[in-house]
Chain A
Amino acid sequence: MNRFVLPLAVFVLMAGLLGYGLRLDPKKVPSPLIDKPAPAFSLAMLDDPSRQLSTADMSGQVWVLNVWASWCVSCRAEHEIISLLANKNLVTVVGLNYKDEPADAARWLKQFGNPYATSVIDRDGRVGIDWGVYGVPETFVIGADGMIKYKHIGPVTHESLEQKIMPILKELLS
């Protein structure tokens, strides 16, 4: 009897660990930027390239940065959700137009509707690297203190908006 206890314990431990591993999404790499200051940028606005928007302009308020591109298929999927969030008028939603042709981006916004207060152009993806962007779309929540509070990788869904992003926004705004 006793000789079965150890192998059984090892088996249960392994099965537990492997089962846990199966439930993880390897595409979701935790960002080291959480609770770190949002990387500064100053970029031309998509609707008026002669004007710039910088992270300093956003200081003192809670805001959301949504990384998108016209070539990104899942950005279309989350477009509805991002619009929903923007229409709540809780926070400013800024778009980071990542590695895109400005003309294509403008057409995309015209076609689907523009949920963003403003979108800025990151044509060569340099700002994307600073923000640790590796898969568009990505969505960041930045607090009034200029710290990144949350990062969502991949398209935002109804569930992730209600269960993750909204509670964080409500806490930051209260």
Chain B
Amino acid sequence: MRRLLLLVLFVFSVPQLQAAIEAYEFESVQMEADYNKLIDELRCLVCQNQNLSASDADLARDLRRETYQMLQEGKSPQQVVEFMVERYGDFVLYRPQFKSTTYLLWLGPFLLLLSVLYLLIRRLRAANKPVEVDADAMAEAKHLLEDKESGK
């Protein structure tokens, strides 16, 4: 059991295997960092649950080359992202942009949390409130109970 646990921990601790094998040369450390960040955040459309850096698909290789070339030409990372979105849509982004069609995506979890908090607080308050009983009804109940006791 303990061995199994260790094995599981080991498997999940191995960093994501990198398929990007091209040896690109960068003019600056900054450019290399930009490149690595971009290929980590852009999705490969062929194998949809992989980013460009992890995918060995032909298209991923082409898009890595495109990313590299654009950076070499002095384009900013933002321009590379725009280039990809223009062609492949928002789907290429692992981190969707914050805009009108994605407000719900970004804010939905917080809305859900707030509504659950609201329900929880309401329920707790209701539970703590002393029970209010109508005085007439109380008197009647008392009367009935006493009646029963004295009657038999």
- A32: min CB distance to chain B, Å: 4
B45:A135 contact, CB within 8 angstroms: yes
CB pairs A–B below 8 angstroms (16 shown): A27-B48, A29-B89, A30-B89, A32-B87, A32-B88, A32-B89, A99-B58, A124-B62, A125-B62, A128-B62, A130-B87, A131-B87, A132-B89, A134-B45, A134-B88, A135-B45
Any chain B CB within 8 A of the CB of A60? no
Interface set, chain B 84-107, CB cutoff 8 A to A: 85-91
Q: Known contacts A30-B89, A32-B90; can you find 12 more A-B pairs with CB under 8 A? A: A29-B88, A29-B91, A32-B85, A32-B87, A32-B89, A33-B87, A125-B59, A128-B62, A130-B87, A131-B87, A132-B87, A134-B59
The docked-state distance in angstroms from the alpha carbon of A33 to that of B59 is 18
A132:B48 contact, CB within 8 angstroms: no
Cross-chain contact of A129 among B87, B89, B91 (Cβ < 8 A): B87
Any chain B CB within 8 A of the CB of A160? no
Given A134-B45, A135-B46, A129:B85 Cβ within 8 A:
no
- A138: min CB distance to chain B, Å: 11
Interface set, chain A 128-151, CB cutoff 8 A to B: 128-132, 134-135
B62:A129 contact, CB within 8 angstroms: yes
- A126: min CB distance to chain B, Å: 8
Secondary structure call for the B interface: helix
Secondary structure call for the A interface: loop
- A71: min CB distance to chain B, Å: 10
- Chain B contacts for A31, CB-based, 8 A: 89
Interface centre among B85, B87, B90, by most A CB within 10 Å?
B87
- A130: min CB distance to chain B, Å: 6
- B147: min CB distance to chain A, Å: 33
Any chain B CB within 8 A of the CB of A26? yes
Please classify how large the interface on chain B is, using the bins under 10, 10 to 19, 20 to 34, 35 or more.
Answer: 10 to 19
- Chain A contacts for B31, CB-based, 8 A: none
Cross-chain contact of A29 among B45, B66, B86 (Cβ < 8 A): B45
- Chain A contacts for B91, CB-based, 8 A: 29
- Chain B contacts for A132, CB-based, 8 A: 87-89
The docked-state distance in angstroms from the alpha carbon of A29 to that of B47 is 12
- Chain A contacts for B89, CB-based, 8 A: 29-32, 132
- B73: min CB distance to chain A, Å: 14
Given A129-B62, A129-B66, A134-B59, A26:B88 Cβ within 8 A:
no
Q: Mark B54-86, 1 if CB is under 8 A from A, else 0.
A: 000011001100100000000000000000011
The docked-state distance in angstroms from the alpha carbon of A124 to that of B69 is 14
- Chain B contacts for A125, CB-based, 8 A: 58-59, 62
- A128: min CB distance to chain B, Å: 8
- Chain B contacts for A135, CB-based, 8 A: 45-46
